[in-house]
Amino acid sequence: MYQCPLFHTHHAPVGAWSSLTFGAPGTAVSVDFQEPNVKKSGALLAGAAGPDGLRTIAFADQPKPSKAELTAEGDKESAPRRRGPLDAFGVCGEEEISRTLTPSRDSFSAGNITLTAYTPCTALPDGEAGEIPAVCCLPGILLEVTVDNTAGTAPCTAFLGFLFHDMKRIYALEDENLCMIRYRDDWMFSAAKESGAYLARGLDAARLLTEGAHFVHQNGPAFLCLPVPAGETRTLAVSWSVYAEAGSNGALRTRYYYNRYFHSLEEGASAVLRNAGELKRMAHEADAELSRPGQDPARKALFCQAVRAYYASSQLLEDETGRVRWNIGEGAYIWRNTMDLCADHIAWELRRNPWIVRSLMDEFLEDYSYEDRVTFPGRPGDYPGGLSFTHDMGCYFTYSPRGNSGYERANDSDRGFYFYMTTEELLNGIYCMAGYALHEKDADWLRSHGGLLAKLMESLENRDAPVPEERNGILKASSARGGTCGLESTTYDALDHSLLEAAGNLYVFIKTWCALVLLRRCCALAGDAGTDARAKAMLEKCRASAALYRQPDSPLLKANAYREIPGAVIAAAEALAIPYSLGALTEAEEPELFSLLRAHCAACLEKGVCLDAVSGGLRLSSTSRNTWPSKSALTIYAMEEALGLTMPAGMVEEVIGWAQVSARELTIADQILCDTREVIGAPYYPRIVTAALWL
């Protein structure tokens, strides 16, 4: 039977940009409120207290003994041991705890104690078609501590407590409805008084719990408690809730959507507790919907971890006109609605909330697009580029000025930073817009943006060459906005030159090929024969130019058609994943594309090429140790499902281990050194939701 590992994961309400992050015993819980960065906020304790003492499932840093404590005049056996703040709580060892992780539930059991967090990932009703119900956007999550005292001969106490890193900043109090452990008006744990819950707090908290004492002193660990009679099982229901009004500033001021229903921390918390039964029903329903016979439990566990990271970075907002807005922050990097993440997130969103994809693309078209000018290598002057999209909509809490990203800047050297990504964002925009339209068969939406398909096609053509006779289906232009460096990067800008530069890049070439197929599908849907003819002509040139990537003595394709760049780029295959999953790209229609990539990927999967010689993990480029779980998931899906390749033994398990072992205390990270398994960047990252395709 599969035993889910004990790693940190997010427990996040949908659209509230917050998370109660825990899961690895021996590691402190992180309270994340509009602050996407895992930290050590304090200890979360769930357990039972009775005449025989306390037993506790604890998520807390365990103090490590000093050298002096390990030896007492050279005798380890008689060494004095420093007492820690949890010594009296009977903390369960990791070996005693079993875990059940589903998309919407995270449950930890030890002995007669079970702690469960409910975070239902149900579909959000279309916010542009009507009001989203309050139960779908509650600003909190439900926690339950169940204590089985059926074998007991004396009453005991079920408890859930919090030991904040600065205990005096937490306040324990009651009103007529709630027992609360709160931090200012930002977040709190609470239980309903009508359930029989009460508060216990003090530096002698272990004694208070054992005695069942209702006592509060504003220092020490704070606990929400529930009596459990002998011979019975009782469940303590707790809300962890958050509250904020403003959701953004800058070019677009918004507030959190839940403000339509709740106007204080207490109101939101009460609603979570009042709707506990409905939240549990929704959680079970979502889990059932996402379960299929034969799913690999380890792959599913990665998805369960990933979907939580996605929602931990989510904001459901409304602007001053009442228009619904959705934002996914780029994890700890906090760029708002990064377009290259949007294109990968549709692996989940088209299944769960297709209207969000439509809404985001409306925003990009209306506010975060522009008409570009482009340059070409070795050619003086600049030329019309056409419809272009920004890399993102801003950074952290602030929307950028319209038509500008927060990330991109002009550079005068290819050794700069924050390059423009206009070519890739054009392709990503096509993936998102076509993905939505084809998935929903929404020709009216395509037509509502007058001439959209023709504009996208013109932009592709202009980025090929300024003169029609010179076009060959390979995008090689750079945005004039990018400065004198004349270089655009791809989403893989943190890797090496095999994937960094967009012009002539194999990955961009394959994505262009796929984007043209998607455009043709949209032209058929919308009845745009003129644009379809242009897309067909460019697609034929694309097929012919595949020869520029072939090597005479190897099935490996060149990393770049115009530059001698060593290395094999298996990431080129990931461009197949989304179009293939939509049913919009088939081998019958594009046999050469599939044949090229099948031979290329099979050669890449040799050890020492894109299969790391040390760990057996997947290198997205053979020349880069830096590899990304989110893109690995897409690439593996494309190779297995579209190309029909069998993955080398242990490789998929290695990818899963990057999230659950390497990033055990971070919940997720999207930049790993594949040989050493070291996390080097992209913590709190939402893009691993690409693992939805593995379901």
Total domains, the chain? 2
Question: Is the pLDDT confidence value at 25 over 70?
Answer: yes
Q: Are residues 369 and 512 in the same domain?
A: yes
Question: Is the pLDDT confidence value at 81 over 80?
Answer: no
Q: Is 48:147 a contact under the CB 8 Å cutoff?
A: yes
pLDDT at 114: 98
pLDDT at 231: 97
Q: Are residues 128 and 204 in the same domain?
A: yes
CA distance 621 to 32: 34
Q: Is 383:466 a contact under the CB 8 Å cutoff?
A: yes
Q: Is 343:153 a contact under the CB 8 Å cutoff?
A: no
In sign, the C-alpha dihedral spanning 615, 616, 622, 627 is negative
CB atoms within 10 A of CB 102: 22
Q: Are residues 438 and 555 in the same domain?
A: yes
pLDDT at 135: 97
Give the torsion through C-alpha atoms of 520, 127, 288, 584, to 10 deg: 0
Residue linked to tokens 């990968």: 344
Question: Is the pLDDT confidence value at 65 over 60?
Answer: no
pLDDT at 64: 56
DSSP state of 521: H
Report if residue 4 sits inside a domain.
Answer: no
Question: Is the pLDDT confidence value at 124 over 70?
Answer: yes
Write the pLDDT tens digit of every residue in 661-686: 999 999 999 999 999 999 999 999 99
| Confidence band, pLDDT 50/70/90 cuts, at residue 84 | confident
Give the torsion through C-alpha atoms of 630, 636, 642, 644, to 10 deg: -170
The backbone torsions φ and ψ at residue 363, rounded to the nearest 5 degrees and listed phi first, read -65, -45
Question: Is the pLDDT confidence value at 78 over 90?
Answer: no
CB atoms within 10 A of CB 540: 12
Q: Are residues 257 and 379 in the same domain?
A: no
CA distance 494 to 278: 44
CA distance 418 to 398: 18
Helix (H) or strand (E) holding 343: helix 339-352
Q: Is 687:345 a contact under the CB 8 Å cutoff?
A: yes
pLDDT at 414: 84
Q: Are residues 282 and 344 in the same domain?
A: no
Q: Of 236, 258, 288, which residue sits at a domain end?
A: 288
Q: Of 288, 311, 341, which residue sits at a domain end?
A: 288
Q: Are residues 391 and 245 in the same domain?
A: no
C-alpha to C-alpha distances, 133 to 138, 325, 465, 496, nearest whole angstrom: 9, 16, 50, 47
Q: Is 92:109 a contact under the CB 8 Å cutoff?
A: no
C-alpha to C-alpha distances, 319 to 16, 263, 608, nearest whole angstrom: 15, 17, 52
In sign, the C-alpha dihedral spanning 95, 96, 97, 98 is positive
Report if residue 358 sits inside a domain.
Answer: yes
CA distance 384 to 689: 36
pLDDT at 80: 47
Helix (H) or strand (E) holding 662: none
Three-class SS state of 550: coil
Three-class SS state of 464: coil
Q: Are residues 281 and 336 in the same domain?
A: no
Q: Is 15:145 a contact under the CB 8 Å cutoff?
A: no
Write the pLDDT tens digit of every residue in 234-279: 999 999 999 999 999 999 999 999 999 999 999 999 999 999 999 9
Q: Are residues 532 and 619 in the same domain?
A: yes
Sheet holding 198-201, edge to edge: 53-59, 42-50, 156-164, 222-228, 198-201, 215-216
Write the pLDDT tens digit of every residue in 392-445: 999 999 999 999 999 999 999 888 889 999 999 999 999 999 999 999 999 999
Q: What is the DSSP string of 158-199?
A: EEEEEEESSGGG-EEEE-SSEEEEEETTTEEEEEEGGGT-EE
pLDDT at 410: 95
Report if residue 364 sits inside a domain.
Answer: yes
The backbone torsions φ and ψ at residue 6, rounded to the nearest 5 degrees and listed phi first, read -95, 90
Report if residue 549 sits inside a domain.
Answer: yes
Helix (H) or strand (E) holding 39: none
Question: Which of 248, 274, 254, 251 is closest to 194 using CA atoms?
Answer: 274
| Confidence band, pLDDT 50/70/90 cuts, at residue 72 | very low
| Confidence band, pLDDT 50/70/90 cuts, at residue 496 | confident
Q: Are residues 526 and 656 in the same domain?
A: yes
C-alpha to C-alpha distances, 411 to 44, 154, 158, 313, 415, nearest whole angstrom: 47, 72, 60, 30, 8
Question: Using H for helix, E for strand and C for coil, what is the string for 383-403?
Answer: EEEEEEECCCCEECCEECCCC
Q: How far is CA 671 from the centre of its chain?
A: 13
Provide the β-strand partners of residue 110. Answer: 113
CA distance 71 to 64: 13
Count the alpha carbons within 13 Å of 673 in the hemisphere toward its beta carbon: 6
Q: Are residues 269 and 341 in the same domain?
A: no
Q: Of 234, 258, 288, which residue sits at a domain end?
A: 288
Return the CATH number at 680: 1.50.10.10
Q: Are residues 483 and 605 in the same domain?
A: yes
DSSP state of 264: S
Report if residue 149 sits inside a domain.
Answer: yes
Question: Is the pLDDT confidence value at 92 over 70?
Answer: yes
pLDDT at 73: 43
pLDDT at 686: 97
Average pLDDT, the chain: 95
| Confidence band, pLDDT 50/70/90 cuts, at residue 121 | very high
Q: Which amino acid is at 410?
A: A
Percent of the chain with pLDDT over 90: 93
Q: Are residues 278 and 346 in the same domain?
A: no
The backbone torsions φ and ψ at residue 70, rounded to the nearest 5 degrees and listed phi first, read -75, -20
Report if residue 414 sits inside a domain.
Answer: yes
Q: Which domain holds residue 527?
A: 329-694
Report if residue 305 sits inside a domain.
Answer: no
| Confidence band, pLDDT 50/70/90 cuts, at residue 176 | very high
| Confidence band, pLDDT 50/70/90 cuts, at residue 497 | confident
CA distance 171 to 185: 11
Report if residue 639 sits inside a domain.
Answer: yes
pLDDT at 417: 86
Cα Rg, the chain, nearest whole Å: 27
